[in-house]
Amino acid sequence: MNEPTADLNHPQLPRRPLGPPLSEPSCWHDIRVTVNGAPVCAQVESRLLLVDFLRHRLGLTGTHVGCEQGSCGACTILVDGVGVRSCLTLAVQADGSDVRTVESLAESGELNRLQRAFHEEHGMQCGFCTPGILMSMTALEESSEVIDDDAIMEHLGGNLCRCTGYVNIRNAARRACLRERSRPVDEGADRDA
């Protein structure tokens, strides 16, 4: 419990392409990014995907790859506060930006309200899609958009989940994001036993 998120300045994390690199040194770039609040400087090859940079160079494996085709949303992260598919983004494109991943959510060590809602509403089964969904919802929460049911449905529309059938995901998202309401608008899977 309460494991700190990976120490991004740990000396053992590779800062440079490991041999053999993915491309000639002429195609390497120095990037500076803030990842979950920590400044990171690294050298990356031009074709390195942002998701691979996060997962395999920085060890932040909470961001998942479900398709590498931009269609499942499992790899969703926040870049400068906006939800982005890290499988369709090159690491070099993140230069100068603020990147946040699922590992940043339980800031205080405790699960945040959104995470708690997914637990309480059983909004996850295998949990593979969950980080992407949490980040899509975080993007909504932090945006200036009016958060109503349509906005929630719209933001969840880009994330695939194969396990839950979405009913409990909707309930969790509503519970966390529709602040003024204590219960989700829709009762979802009513029991009539």
Binding site residues, other proteins, CB under 8 A: 1, 3, 18-20, 22, 47-48, 55-56, 59-69, 71-72, 74, 101-103, 105-106, 111, 115, 118-120, 122, 124-131, 134, 153, 156-157, 159-170, 186-193
Quote the CA–CA distance of 80 and 118 in Å, as a whole number: 24
Distances (CA, A) of 17 to 6, 30, 142: 19, 11, 34
Q: How far is Cα 18 from Cα 15, in angstroms, rounded to an integer? A: 9
Measured over the CA atoms of residue 95, residue 97, residue 103 and residue 108, the dihedral's sign is: positive
Q: 17, 73, 83, 131: which one contacts ligand FES (CB under 6 A)? A: 73
Nearer to ligand FES, 55 or 57 (CB): 55
Q: From CA 15, how far away is CA 27, in angstroms rounded? A: 15
Q: List the single partner that 85 binds among ligand FES, other proteins, none, CB under 5 to 8 Å by kind.
A: ligand FES
> For 82, phi and psi rounded to 5 degrees?
-110, 140
CB of 9 or CB of 71, closer to ligand FES: 71
Q: Which does 27 bind (CB under 5 to 8 A by kind): ligand FES, other proteins, none?
A: none
The structure tokens listed for 79 are 């870049």
C-beta neighbour count of 144 within 10 angstroms? 4
Which stretch, 53-61, 122-130, 148-156, 180-188, contacts ligand FES (CB under 6 A)?
122-130
Check residue 61 for interaction with ligand FES (CB under 6 A): no
Of residues 39, 70, 81, 165, which one binds ligand FES by CB under 6 A? 70
- Taking CB under 6 A as the criterion, the residue among 13, 22, 27, 65 binding ligand FES is 65
We find the least distance from the C-beta atom of residue 184 to ligand FES, in angstroms, to be: 18
Q: What is the DSSP letter of 25?
A: G
Q: What is the torsion angle, in degrees rounded to the nearest 10, for the CA atoms of residue 5, residue 173, residue 119 and residue 179?
A: 90
CB of residue 86 vs ligand FES: minimum separation in angstroms?
7
Beta carbons of 84 and 94 less than 8 angstroms apart: no
161 belongs to the binding site for ligand FES (CB under 6 A): yes
Residues of this chain that bind ligand FES (CB under 6 A): 65-68, 70-75, 85, 87, 124-129, 161-164
